[in-house]
Amino acid sequence: MATKLVIVGGVAAGAAAATRARRLDEFADIIIFERSGYVSFASCGLPYHVGRIIPRRASLLITSPERFREWFNIDVRVRHEVLSIDRVARRVRVRDLESGREFDEPYDKLILTPGASAVVPPIDGSASRNVFVLRTIEDMDALNAYLDERPVRRVAVVGAGFIGLEATECLCQRGLEVDLIELLPQVLPPLDADLAPLVESHLRAHGVRLHLGAGLESFALENGHVAAVGTRAGRSIPTDAVLVSVGVRPNNRLARDAGLELTERGAIRVNDRLETSDPSILAAGDVIEAVHAVTGVPVSVPLAGPAARQGRLAGQRAVGFEGPPAARVAGTAIVEVFDLVVAVTGLGLQAARRAGPPCAQIIARRLHHVDYYPGAQPMTIKLVYAPDTGRLLGGQIVGGAGVDRRIDVLATALHFGGTVDDVADLDLAYAPQFGAAKDPVVVAAQIAQNERSGLIQHVDPAELEGLCRDGAQLVDARPAAAAASSGAIPGAVQIPMATLRQRLETLDRSRPVVLYCDVGYTSYLAARVLRQRGFPRVYNLAGGFRWYVARGLPVVSTG
């Protein structure tokens, strides 16, 4: 007999599950129940239609119920809400939200892909007409309608995660003033604190007013609308509209009421076959947790890529095809903010330290392709790795062109449990307009190799002042013209690399020496000279002078 497959929820996971099941079983009876009016849409594109970067709303509608029926013989019923699951009888109770009619639908296999809902803090005024979230087509339509119909000049965006930053840029593109409010002391919580200032200064340069360490406390109401946002820092920020983007919560009510096991964070618990505690029910997407590729610990990763892959696997298993276990996830994500690109994969240094095993980091500042080809853009690459084994634990990149390609290289290395040695040996494509013979990620890995082998030790710019206070000698290894044009670090002695061997006696061998240049390469050469000539404690400034300046640390003029 044909398998009766019922799927609760569409979009990435549900649609992928249904179509994979159909491709493997032409005779299965497949039904999707979707509570909203849209079964398959590009949720990641919602902010860009608000910002009119994607002008046509229809571009976001990937597949219609009609196409599901015509191409895949799948019965899609939008505006249908599944109310409950009867696990003994293997049926679900469904309500048609248009007519109000309720009915039962039997199943042999049930796949739960109800996704997650935007979290809105439960404070007075959160249900006001000018408070919005951005998760569905309906959310986007409501926000667009309000912005089109009202004299909105200023918008408060609450939450500086990936969606919050995308929305901030798109609202600015629309000509609005934006106040970005974040509870934590930095934007983009997955990004390490030393990289976040690169993003923050870029936002400020584009007119965004940042309120960091100032989470949402209250709404001030006028005529039923929010007129100001109160923060925990005691500020009142006038606004014409509010967009809340502080995270999501898994839609677990169906599973909870049916007695399925949940995780501590409220996600549906699944095994590596994506089966719930009831083998006839599978789950995928934002409503479950996945195993982290580095830590091996279950994590919530509400991203479209993992959801689609999980949905595909769930659909396959529901019609009897085994396949591999569910893949681990690295949390790879990327965002563009006013032409600055930020990408992460795996663990940052802060997360790696919380996870427990010993970890180290390196910073590499490089151009995305060779400098002699026009248009080279700088990028800052951070690699986090295990110093004992060299295993890659994570990567973070901030830059412009080429960031997407490099983060995917690091994500691939993470997926296969690669080391910095593996990354250093990668055979990557090269032409002058795309990269360099020594690609930026290869250079970053080679820096980690040098540090692991003891050829060099790095000092973070934040540690420099303390080292110098304790007697370290600070040496600027750049040519004199570089210091004259861009300034220098306070207390530095200018000894260009070209004259270093002739001026060794001007340095005290009993005291530590910290060297720097623009990006860390020339000073690395200088450090190797000193180490081999009897200087026992020699350090290179991580990321060089440019990274030091990017961190907002003090510079003196030498011109």
Catalytic (active-site) positions: 44
Phi, psi at 155, each rounded to 5°: -125, 135
Question: How would you classify the pairing of strands 241-244 and 131-132?
Answer: parallel
Phi, psi at 183, each rounded to 5°: -65, -40
CB 135 within 8 A of CB 43: yes
Report the alpha-carbon distance of residue 481 to residue 500 in Å, rounded.
Answer: 16
Q: Strand 281-283: give its sheet, edge to edge.
A: 75-78, 29-34, 4-8, 109-112, 281-283
Report the alpha-carbon distance of residue 47 to residue 70 in Å, rounded.
Answer: 30
Report the alpha-carbon distance of residue 371 to residue 519 in Å, rounded.
Answer: 14
Report the alpha-carbon distance of residue 84 to residue 231 in Å, rounded.
Answer: 39
Report the alpha-carbon distance of residue 321 to residue 324 in Å, rounded.
Answer: 10
Label residue 285 exposed, middle or buried (CB < 10 Å: 0-12, 13-18, 19+). buried
Count of residues in the chain: 559
Helix axes 11-24, 65-72, angle to 10 degrees: 20
- Could you write out the DSSP letters of every residue in 275-325? B-SSTTEEE-GGGB-EEBTTT--EE----HHHHHHHHHHHHHHHTT---SP
Q: How many CA atoms lie within 13 A of 422 on its CB side?
A: 17
Dihedral angle computed from the Cα positions of residues 128, 129, 131 and 133, in that order, rounded to the nearest 10 degrees: 120
What separation in angstroms does the CA of 489 have from each of 336, 472, 557? 31, 14, 9
Residue identified by tokens 């096991």 is 261
Report the alpha-carbon distance of residue 261 to residue 200 in Å, rounded.
Answer: 41
DSSP element (H, E) containing 343: strand 340-346
What separation in angstroms does the CA of 342 have from each of 51, 53, 190, 542? 20, 19, 11, 20
CB 246 within 8 A of CB 158: yes
Report the alpha-carbon distance of residue 235 to residue 1 in Å, rounded.
Answer: 65
Report the alpha-carbon distance of residue 124 to residue 25 in Å, rounded.
Answer: 51
Report the alpha-carbon distance of residue 180 to residue 213 in Å, rounded.
Answer: 11
State CA 246 to chain mean position distance.
14
